[in-house]
Structure 1
């Protein structure tokens, strides 16, 4: 019997970037007959430029907690006629894991995901990418906007300078340090022993900020806990954290569709 029957997909954006990054995926899955929902986080309803113009004194965004983000998407799901398939990138990848744990999804795909509480990486690229955004010694009263050099290293490493500049202007937005610190605490907790609907992890070999090894560790936490639930993992070679916007984005989209169709 097929497990995944939903024809609704909810896309969940990560930190630092506009929700408009899902446009290619939205068109792709709509062409396959799915109803696709792309909604921004709370306090992020605007163009990247409009949101950047509020930096660093966007107090509404600065006060946003990670729990607020998760609850925002949970509320959207509860308004739908059916449980959706959940697809999230980066911090959105952790969010779809949490929503799946709450029984709010028919399946989930976590792309280059932020890890749950207790799943750590000591790779230098991970620490370097997150040191400034987390701002352990910085005020929580102001948002953080990644500099272009941070963007180059954390998201778009390996791309041409022209493409890095274009992607920065089209995507980068300020971020709440409260929200990105949230997964370090109880807001990012996952019960790995709890049975769950089909869950796929996708990683990229060139991702600096969310290394493939970290995504694999996240996957293994589920895989080693129980055998009754479907959990799969796929690493794509040559992919950085800007995976949704790369010319090869359809590699991951097609793989995700195959996963959905398989179950």
Structure 2
């Protein structure tokens, strides 16, 4: 049996990469070599990341794409990339650039060409957009803001516990870049959606997600209509943006593992 591809987990805004550890443990049990490196400037621990927000600030989508591209170059083989939120956008970019053998986008941030912008998504990102200077800053969420954006499908207690455990500052630049993507001919939020030679892609939506509502994921799926490559879609109706870190994470991970097996990966 051929060796399984390595797996690269990519976090999104406001979550530390260590939040992937349960996924890493499960995927390692299934025979995958896994890594979850942080975005540029993200420190090794949550506490260090909170203490040095300036190091996280002002990194845009192209910076993050280049960062993970460099990491991939050092791997023994092209990886499966699994990304959450903006990490899901990065996963799609890397797949479209033929740097990954497959990608999974979990509640993936909107790519260029996606038009729906539900009110809940606007409210979730308001802490960044309320001040234009935040484009060059790192912005932290309060526990209440985290509860609306990530933990709305959870109890207040679970949401607050996840906030204390995993929340870190996030750069505002990617959000500003995504918001203006459809007005920018060379937007970093653009993805090679027409690439028919790429590996398979799975897009997963949470039906109760405030930050990336299901309408955004469905609109993302439509962007791939000109590609002959495998592009699958799944919605978990009762899950919010916390679906990778909350008490139900294992059901999402198990679905991803089954899908990878179906793709021969």
8 Å contact from structure 2 (residues 128, 134) kept in 1: no
1:50 counterpart (38, 45, 48): 48
Give yes or no for the alignment of 1:69 onto 2:64: yes
Gaps of 5+ in 2: 182-186
SS in 1 for 2:223: helix
1:127 corresponds in structure 2 to 122
1:15 counterpart (2, 13, 16): 13
Given the superposition, is the C-alpha separation of residues 214 and 5 from structure 1 closer, same or farther in structure 2, using an over 3 Å criterion? farther
2:162 counterpart (151, 155, 167): 167
Gaps of 5+ in 1: none
Aligned counterparts of 1:6 and 1:183: Cα–Cα separation in 2: 33
Note the C-alpha offset of 1:261: 0.8
1:84 corresponds in structure 2 to 79
1:189 corresponds in structure 2 to 190
8 Å contact from structure 1 (residues 13, 90) kept in 2: yes
Give yes or no for the alignment of 1:205 onto 2:200: no
2:93 corresponds in structure 1 to 98
Note the C-alpha offset of 1:63: 2.5
8 Å contact from structure 2 (residues 5, 78) kept in 1: no
What TM-score comes out, normalization by structure 1 length?
0.92
Note the C-alpha offset of 1:182: 2.8
8 Å contact from structure 2 (residues 151, 242) kept in 1: yes
Aligned counterparts of 1:7 and 1:192: Cα–Cα separation in 2: 23
2:246 corresponds in structure 1 to 246
Residue deviations 1:66-122, cap 9 Å, x none?
211111100010111111111000000000000001110001010000011121323
Given the superposition, is the C-alpha separation of residues 207 and 139 from structure 1 closer, same or farther in structure 2, using an over 3 Å criterion? closer
Residue deviations 1:215-253, cap 9 Å, x none?
11101211x213x21010000121010111121111111
What TM-score comes out, normalization by structure 2 length?
0.91
Note the C-alpha offset of 1:136: 5.2
Note the C-alpha offset of 1:5: 6.7
Aligned counterparts of 2:212 and 2:67: Cα–Cα separation in 1: 24
Given the superposition, is the C-alpha separation of residues 5 and 99 from structure 1 closer, same or farther in structure 2, using an over 3 Å criterion? farther
Aligned counterparts of 1:73 and 1:244: Cα–Cα separation in 2: 20
Given the superposition, is the C-alpha separation of residues 118 and 136 from structure 1 closer, same or farther in structure 2, using an over 3 Å criterion? farther
RMSD over equivalenced CA pairs, Å: 1.8
SS in 2 for 1:251: helix
